[in-house]
Amino acid sequence: MISVGWQENPDLDKIAELKPDLILMTGEKEDFYEELSKIAATVGYQINTDENWDYHETSLKVAETFDKRGEMKKDLDRVDAKEAVFEENVKAKFGDQKLMYLSVTDNDIRYYAYGHFGYLYDTYHFNRA
């Protein structure tokens, strides 16, 4: 994996060095859209971080960019089936224990509440810490 900076401070020179043909970005940092568009074709997707976001919807939007919506729908159906089995296994192993999702970097530790990773709680019916 190659670091291209952090959300608040992307390394635009490093991104340009990688010579992408297409950049897919969330709308959380719309102020970088114009700069990224100078590097490569850039498509932005809005993810509502105030609420749980549906990765199905985002995946289908990205697939539309490549005219692959039908294939993505089939892939998501397969993922849904696997998630159902995973959910059963998690419930059997962990019962009603609480989940806390942390992101650990060299600089800090962040706790992601429901709005950022709510799909983990919703999909697998984890109890929130």
SS (H, E, C) 5-56: EECCEECHHHHHHCCCCEEEEEHHHHHHHHHHHHHCEEEEECCCCCCCCCHH
List the domain boundaries for the chain: 1-46
Global pTM reads 0.61
Which pLDDT does position 129 carry in this prediction?
78
Model pLDDT for residues 67-117, shown as the tens digit of each residue: 999 999 999 999 999 988 988 898 898 888 888 888 888 888 988 776 666
Model pLDDT for residues 9-65, shown as the tens digit of each residue: 889 999 999 999 999 887 666 778 889 999 999 888 765 555 556 778 888 988 998
- Following CA atoms 121, 86, 78, 52 in sequence, which dihedral angle do they give, to the nearest 10 degrees? 0
